[in-house]
Structure 1
Amino acid sequence: MPVIGAAIADTYWGKYKTVLVGLSISLAGMVVVTASATVPSLRPPPCEHAAYCAPATLTQRLVFFAGIYLCAVGTGSAKAVIVSFGAEQFDDDGIGESAAERERKASYFSWYYGVGNLAVVTSGTLLVWAEEKVSWGIGYAVCAALVAAAVAGLAATAPAYRIVPPVGSPLKGACQVLVALAHKVNVRVPEDAAELYEEVRVKAPLLEPAREQLEHTNQFRFVDKAAVVTGADLEDASPWRLCTVTQVEEVKTLLRLIPIWLTSAVYFVANSQSQTTFVQQGTMTDSRIAGGAFSVPAASLTSVQTVFVVASIALYNRAVAPAARRFLGRAEALTPLQLMGLGHGAVTAAVALAACAEARRLAGVRAGAAPMGIAWLLPQYVVMAVSDASLSIGQLEFFYDQAPETMRGSSTAFYFLSCSIGNLLSSQLVTLVASVTAAGGGKGWLPPDMDNGHLDYYFLLLVGITALNFVLFVYLAKNYTPKRIR
């Protein structure tokens, strides 16, 4: 849904309207879910001590799932668009943008991700407590009230926002370049880039927003054929046969971004371990800490990571970034690509720490020692939090800045898509490793009883994958050609 919502925003509605409509749909879903949890006729009768529990009726199931899917469609559609809509509020014309404005925009992406993680901690603790101890209806009603406040706030403050109109389909221009390239596959590209076609726009800036025009780059020169003017173009200058330099450069930009995006998808294969195998690892440890004064459930370690994500973002924005700016003498403490590189390197270190901890735990189990304490797992969660914050913030900012103007909304949606692909690949990798290592009748690396397996070997496999991915990312980052605006 983030990809679909972003495409609608970029093509038809614009970001503000898409966010407002998406959150309104989500509000309707939360109202339906709240009603399903509170109205007696919309839920099965209570079943605490009865021998027979009446199942939900078809109507009750339909109402409940209608609310759930409305929430998914609404929130999913607005999720990525909110990121780019907030970034549009800054003066980022690419040429006259001041150092202070770039600094504020970089901080925006950091605080956006930090506040989002803070909300996850709140919903996973206070709201869950209210739902379990007080009422599910109360918990859902609080969620509905918060979404209603967001919708009302956006609607009431519309005049305060910079509303950028949609600039057209993000795919149409790319398709036109590919079709024109197919028509001119045998055409020679001129040595002088000035001979390539570019529109000269004369417009009233107060009546029509100016669309950015990109400078020519020498990378992927074969795509320049789509902008070569031929005799047939002089007779019939169809946009499906003759494209502008800006359109060609937008396609080149996508060709540069896709490999970097793919490294992020591989990154999330390792990042997803903090919600899966790290938790399984924690269930095999002694959950008591501070001399037995407290007990930390293994599943709570994910909340610990989220807290560290928020803490690392606050530390970076308030202390590390200002000191780095003064030392380097520039607006950016770390560039988005450098932040992403830090995330790639840190995730390798986090999985390596997990491998060391698991090897120590297995050695203790096989020596008959007492179970390893759960506190030994904290370092891998702390490093994973630093990695998560660095890569996610860097990727959101990098893709927003570098994406073609027609794909500003879609660019941030690809962050969520890389998360999804990473989780999918992770589940497939677990299935593959369990199957291959158990071939021939052995228990394999990932048996039901982890004391009989080798989860540490699985972590070492991920260390190798993420290390190779890190090397590939460094190569792509060093050779990346940023887009240049005229």
Structure 2
Amino acid sequence: MQDYYYCLTYLHLVALGQGGHKPCVQAFGADQFDRQDTKEYKSKSSFFNWWYFFMSSGILVSLLVLTYIQDNLSWSLGFGIPCIMMICALIIFLLGSKKYRYSVKREGNNALLRITRVFVAAFRNWRFTPSSIASEEEGRGTVPHQSYEQFKFLNNALLTTDGSKEDQKVCTFRDVEEAKAVLRLIPIWTTCLGYAIVFPQSSTFFVKQAATMDRSISPGFEIPAASLESFSSISMILCIAIYDRLFVPVARALTRKPSGISMLQRIGTGMFLSAVSIAFAALVEMKRLEIAQESGLVNEPNVTVPMSVWWLVPSYVLFGVADVFTMVGLQEIFYDQVPSDLKSVGLSLYLSIFGVGKFLSSFLISVIEKATGGIGCYSWFNNNLNRAHLDYFYWILAALSVVELIMYMYYTRFYIYSRDERI
């Protein structure tokens, strides 16, 4: 029992460390690039690519090296090596303290208070129409007409309670634009939940499928089922290098965009590849069940199905490539499109997509389990996969991905970039 509490404490410490590290490390790294410098502005987009590149490399080393050490040598050594690496990384990070750039915050209230004040003021003045302010400010070029027309109800925050304009407005146009920028991200956050629901399957059900298939490479040697995840990491590493060094320069020459294609286009591409990946996984599972039926293995869950595990590799590869597009794109847009005071909060919102997505995935599995696993019935997630129907579940996820992608494409038609980039 004491060991259980020790383990629980360690897990909570890991969660606490990740909660402080993950949302801040990318924001802090991207803050080192000057938006006013053309060369550095282009490099900022590459930063997110290479950050994910090295993170994927670390995951790959963990899958191939640390899992071997833990399984064959020592768990203490398997945990000790990452501990030493983290200490070295912390020392290197601290050595650069005097060289780092720190973003300058706006004077006055923080961004969360400013945005909250905009919504409160807009609700208080919902009866009025600030047309006179619109005409004056558009004439000055303070705010684009297109931006002003979107979420018009927030423009009422520019008025006092009697509908007149003050010399010193409590909410400025910049405050309103910040609130609109955050509000524009909500449809992106919502429509990407479908991608986040599909995301956990590669590390759960794919591994369970692989354990039932022929994993032999040579007589007496089988690939560990969990090690197949390394194909996702390998595809991420290769795809990021190709994307950043080949695709972006070519696309930049054609589109004149610093990042080659827009952030929204990048995210949508990954969502499409994710849908293709889970659909292909469904086809592979259908074939696996067919072979199990033909081989008389329906009631033999511990016998290897005579189907090569390599059929799962394309799905792993597509998942890895999809991550390069969608996850890196989400990191960039949730950093770039929020007020300067909220960079780490924006990246926390990006991370929350996958946290909520995993909860929704678990909820969906629980509902389907109860609906299909009645008395005398075999659940879609039966422990005997030869009696289960993961293919049906994958088709549901594929359909969900397509619906989410269509909704995403619809909402992004009306998205207005909050800075110098436009669709």
Tell me if TM exceeds 0.5.
Answer: yes
Assess, with a 3 A threshold, how the Cα gap between structure 1 residues 391 and 228 changes in structure 2: closer, same or farther. Answer: same
Match of 1:181 in 2: 122
Which is further off, 372-381 or 146-155?
146-155
Partner of 1:193: 134
Q: Cα–Cα, structure 1 residues 88 and 177, in superposed 2: closer, same or farther, change >3 Å?
A: same
Equivalent in the alignment of 1:356:
283
1:92-151 C-alpha deviation (Å, 9 max, x unpaired): 1xxx442x3333111110110111111112223323334444444434333233222222
Code of the residue aligned with 1:463 in structure 2: it is A
Q: Does the aligned pair in 2 maintain the 1:189–1:222 contact within 8 Å? A: no
Specify the code of the residue in structure 1 equivalent to 2:204.
T
Q: Which ranges in structure 1 are unaligned for 5 or more consecutive residues? A: 1-54, 198-212
Matched, 1:320 2:259: no
- Equivalent residue for 1:90? 33
- Shift in Å, 1:64: 5.6
1:201 match? none
2:219 and 2:198 map into 1 onto residues whose CA distance is 31
Q: 1:437 aligns with which of 349, 353, 372?
A: 372
1:159 alignment partner, one of 74, 78, 98: 98
Q: Does the CA contact (< 8 Å) of 1:267 and 1:347 recur in 2?
A: yes
Match of 2:17 in 1: 74
Indicate conservation of the 8 Å contact 1:102/1:332, yes or no.
no
RMSD (CA atoms): 2.7
Task: Mark the CA change 1:129 to 1:449 in structure 2 (over 3 Å): closer, same or farther.
Answer: closer
2:156 alignment partner, one of 196, 219, 225: 225
Aligned with residue 262 of structure 1, among 178, 181, 190: 190
Aligned to 2:82: 143
Structure 2: 5+ residue runs without aligned partners? 297-304
Aligned-residue identity in percent: 29
Q: Provide the aligned length of Structure 1 versus Structure 2.
A: 406
Which runs of structure 2 are paired with 1:187-336 in the superposition (5 Å)? 187-193=128-134, 195=136, 217-229=148-160, 242-289=170-217, 294-336=221-263
Q: Distance between the aligned counterparts of 1:310 and 1:214, measured in 2? A: 41
Residues 456 and 219 of structure 1: is their aligned pair in 2 closer, same or farther, counting only changes over 3 Å? same
Secondary structure (helix, strand or coil) at the match of 2:148 reads: coil
Q: Which amino acid aligns with 1:476?
A: Y
Of the three residues 456, 467, 471, the one matched with 2:406 is: 471
CA distance in 1, matches of 2:310, 2:92: 43
TM-score relative to the length of structure 1 = 0.77
TM-score, normalization: structure 2?
A: 0.87
**Contact residue 57 and residue 233 of structure 2 kept, 8 A:** yes
CA–CA separation in structure 2 for the residues paired with 1:425 and 1:312: 29
- 2:311 corresponds in structure 1 to 376
CA contact (8 A) 1:341 1:474 kept: yes
Per the TM alignment, residue 360 of structure 1 is displaced from its structure 2 partner at its CA by: 0.8
* Residue equivalent to 2:299: none
Distance, in Å, in 1 between the alignment partners of 2:365 and 2:121 is 44
Tell me the secondary structure at the aligned position of residue 267 of structure 2: helix
Per-residue CA shift, 1:191-234, capped at 9, x if unaligned? 5425579xxxxxxxxxxxxxxx9765210111100112455988
> Where do 1:399-478 residues align within 5 Å?
399-439=334-374, 441-478=376-413
Residue 448 of structure 1 and its aligned partner are, at CA, apart by 2.0
Residue aligned with 2:214, SS: coil
